[in-house]
Amino acid sequence: MLNRVEGIVLKTQDYGESNKIVTLYSREFGKITAMARGAKKPASRLAAITQPFTYGSFLIQQGRGMGTMQQGEQIESYRHIREDIEATAYASFVVELINRAVEDSTPQPAIFNLLQQALHAIADEYDPEAIALFVEWKMLPVTGIYPTLHECANCGATDGEFSFSFQQIGFLCHRCFAVDPYIVRLTPAQVKLIRTFYTVAIDQVGKLTLKKETKKFIKKIVRTIYEEQTGIRLKSQSFLDQLDRLPEYFPKKENPSTSQEEGE
């Protein structure tokens, strides 16, 4: 059976002298793998189309076992992602997280859209760190974690001061702070921002200009949830941590004067 799928290359693995095994996230079938024969040779017509982050339309011959990629056409190249080291690093993180979090051959169009919008936003030079953070929050339910962020996880109150509880995986109101001795206190702006990351569409998150410190704080919360609840730890994370430690080599395009986070 020959299938045409719309997909994004999550990962490639060399196979033998000249072949690649390509992992795609497709709109139609979810995560699938296909053998791309000859794709390691630069002259191959499959060479360009099987680069990581490529968004394309692929023709896959499906037999028993792994399919074979017959041909592919690029829909978007996401050039900026390949040319900018920070964009590459965050895009790598996004595709690795999605690759790890999803099951094979389970169509989830919402995840395809999330991936496509995230790469598109990074390629459009939105803050890649904020986009990656957004994907992290949005992928929590895919791994079976549903944080309680719309009310107090203990009493259901929607008013008051809030803190984050890893034990409850969600917010606790000030009346319930005693429930968890290890709560992380949050300002109202932080509460609002966490809800935004979890619930709001990606095209709106892209417009936020966030301070480095704010991103670091929110990132620490979501990473701790992943580490404690899912055991997912990503290889691309250590490269991002290195980038963070070398700010002088990678000047950040930040403009704190246009920051929206405190004012809202």
Instruction: Please report how close the Cβ of residue 166 comes to Zn ion at its closest, in angstroms.
Output: 16
CA-based Rg of the chain, rounded to a whole angstrom? 20
- The distance of closest approach from Cβ of residue 168 to Zn ion in the complex, given in angstroms and rounded to an integer, is 10
**Contact positions with Zn ion (CB under 5 A) in 97-126:** none
Kindly tell me the number of DSSP H helices and DSSP E strands found in the chain: 8, 8
- 55 and 130 Cβ atoms separated by less than 8 Å: no
If one asks whether residue 176 binds Zn ion (CB under 5 A), the answer comes out as yes
Rounded Cα distance between 188 and 85, Å, is 34
- State the alpha helices, DSSP H only, in 29-84: 79-83
Q: Residue from 155, 178, 189, 201 that binds Zn ion (CB under 5 A)?
A: 155
Asked if 236 and 92 touch (Cβ cutoff 8 Å), the reply is yes
Task: Say whether residue 173 binds Zn ion (CB under 5 A).
Answer: yes
Using CB under 5 A as the binding rule, whether residue 210 contacts Zn ion is answered as no
Min dist. Cβ of residue 182 to Zn ion (A): 16
Total residues binding Zn ion (CB under 5 A): 7
The CA-based dihedral angle spanning residues 223, 143, 81, 208, taken in that order and rounded to the nearest 10 degrees: -60
Stretch that binds Zn ion, among 79-87, 111-119, 174-182, 254-262 (CB under 5 A): 174-182
| One of 116, 154, 163, 237 touching Zn ion (CB under 5 A) | 154
Q: Please give the residue ranges that form the binding site for Zn ion (CB under 5 A).
A: 152, 154-155, 157, 173, 175-176
